[in-house]
Structure 1
């Protein structure tokens, strides 16, 4: 008799600004327990459009792994669809809106990009996403540059415009029924650890893993830990 093939649990991945599935390569390389699906949000022009996209793609009681901007988008979706995502891992993100300083920086960046030729992300900028211990890791730096090059200037401008309008979701997240695990780094130069902890503390039953010696690019810098966290969280019933 022919063996019956078991259907694998789908695991949906949402990446951050100017990130492609390359971000997850080391994480999913040995993740054979799941059917990994990478959701492309780059065509979207707002978080509402991303929510429509997720509504079309996600199955009921979905399992989601989301990073940075993608994590905020997933939380935004969970607020308006409180029963749709069963379990979610949020990486390097808080539910806060952007500060006035960050909004101004984004506006300045958009203005510059619209008037000048884009030569790709600089090494100096790429290093801001990594922990100092990885500043000599040319492989990680190249992954960041390759993702940026794959997407290009048009996508960068669209993503910066689409994801700048962020309301504080903290209070609304108290109503969601999604089980959430948060992964954050104390030395993340882009997302303050106190903001991440505040988000986690305001989500019912949410748990957290806090990393040291890691920057913002947690899936690149500590892929084994991310994979192990995913296995524990998603396979535990």
Structure 2
């Protein structure tokens, strides 16, 4: 009997390593990782997803990848049967975040890039994991594998985000949201606002976890996948 397929979409500067701990014991599914690092816009990601996803498919998406999945679902309301949205909202980026990204791009274009610093990597993790060298190294390895050009391209491609919350009401996709109340990168109020626009959506809100939920709480994510899909 053919296993059900799960398509995984990752965040900025993330590779399949993001899902390594989740998928290691997720043998009842065929896990397919979609690489969006070559895309220069969400429209290009839409085209890639259109060519890759099956009909009535299952999608697990994290951070920027989760926004991309929601962006695709708005234009293709019947294409994704079920979608798990992790560490993401459907809102646009704040002016502060946009300015930070612009400054980062300007700096990268003028200087050598030596890879993500430990200080920056720790911003993605909950303080309880700041001594977890395994998780820190995974973040550094993903960044190293992709490199400076991908970082610049992804920052440029994914910064201009429209607010999708109202449009999400029209889709048929069943959605489960997983988010952390202590995520330093994604405002939990934005996630809750997204949830309120989706009366049929279910959700899991975490404590003692940072932004990198698939790395920090892989057992919880795996259990949620099994229960939801």
Q: TM-score range by the shorter chain?
A: over 0.9
Give the equivalent residue in structure 2 for 1:3: none
Aligned counterpart in structure 2 of residue 114 of structure 1, from 89, 109, 117 = 109
Q: 1:74: how far off?
A: 0.1
Give the equivalent residue in structure 2 for 1:143: 138
Structure 1's unaligned 5+ residue stretches are 1-5
Deviations 1:196-223 (A, max 9, x none): 0110110130010000000000000000
CA RMSD of aligned residues (A): 0.4
Give the equivalent residue in structure 1 for 2:72: 77
Aligned counterpart in structure 2 of residue 33 of structure 1, from 24, 28, 31 = 28
Give the equivalent residue in structure 1 for 2:123: 128
Alignment of 1:1-237 (within 5 A): 6-234=1-229
TM-score (norm 2): 0.99
In structure 1, how many angstroms separate the alpha carbons of the residues matched to 2:106 and 2:52? 33
Q: 1:19: how far off?
A: 0.1
In structure 1, how many angstroms separate the alpha carbons of the residues matched to 2:211 and 2:159? 18
Runs of 4 or more, structure 1, over 3 Å off, are none
In structure 2, how many angstroms separate the alpha carbons of the residues matched to 1:228 and 1:201? 24
In structure 1, how many angstroms separate the alpha carbons of the residues matched to 2:172 and 2:124? 32
Aligned residues: 229
In structure 2, how many angstroms separate the alpha carbons of the residues matched to 1:207 and 1:201? 10
In structure 2, how many angstroms separate the alpha carbons of the residues matched to 1:82 and 1:48? 16
Matched position secondary structure for 1:27: helix
TM-score (norm 1): 0.96
Matched position secondary structure for 2:179: strand
Q: 1:194: how far off?
A: 1.0
